[in-house]
Amino acid sequence: MSSNNRNTINIVISGVGGQGVLTLAELLAKAALNESYNVRVGEIHGMAQRGGHVVCTVRIGPMAKGPIVDEGFADILVGFEPVETLREISRIKKDGHVLMSSHIQYPVAVSMGKAEYPSIDEITSNIEKLTSNITELDAMNLAKEAGSSRAMNMVLFGAIVATDLLPITKETAIDVVKKKFPGKFEEINVKAIELGFSKVVN
Considering beta carbons, is residue 19 or 161 the nearer one to another protein?
Answer: 19
Report, in Å, the least distance between residue 176 CB and another protein.
10
Closest distance to another protein from the beta carbon of 164 (Å): 23
The least distance separating another protein from the CB of residue 161, rounded to whole angstroms, comes to 17
Residues in the chain: 202
In the complex, what is the shortest distance from the CB of residue 156 to another protein, in angstroms, rounded to a whole number? 16
Residue type for 152, please? M
Q: Which is nearer to another protein, 185 or 200 (CB)?
A: 185
The contact set with another protein (CB under 8 A) reads 1-2, 4-5, 16-18, 25-26, 29-30, 33, 38-53, 63, 65-68, 70-73, 83-84, 86-87, 89-90, 93, 105-118, 122, 126, 129-130, 140, 149, 179
**In the chain, what is the straight-line distance between the N-terminal and C-terminal CA atoms, in Å?**
38
**Residues in contact with 62: Cβ distance below 8 Å, sequence separation at least 6, in sequence order:** 4, 7, 8, 38
Cβ 165 to another protein, closest distance in Å? 19
Helix axes 186-201, 152-162, angle to 10 degrees: 40
Q: Pseudo-torsion of CA 39, 133, 135, 107, nearest 10°?
A: 80
Q: Which is nearer to another protein, 52 or 198 (CB)?
A: 52
Gap between the Cα atoms of 84 and 73, Å rounded: 18
Answer yes or no: are the C-beta atoms of 19 and 55 closer than 8 Å. Answer: no
Closest approach, Cβ 76 to another protein, in A, equals: 17
Looking at the Cβ atoms of 53 and 199, the one nearer to another protein is: 53
Candidates 159, 166, 186; CA nearest to 174 is 186
Residue closer to another protein by CB (options 93, 191) is 93
Contacts of residue 47, defined as CB under 8 A and 6 or more positions apart, other chains included, come to none
- CA neighbours closer than 13 Å in the CB half-sphere of residue 85: 31
- Which residue number, 2 or 202, has a Cβ lying nearer to another protein? 2
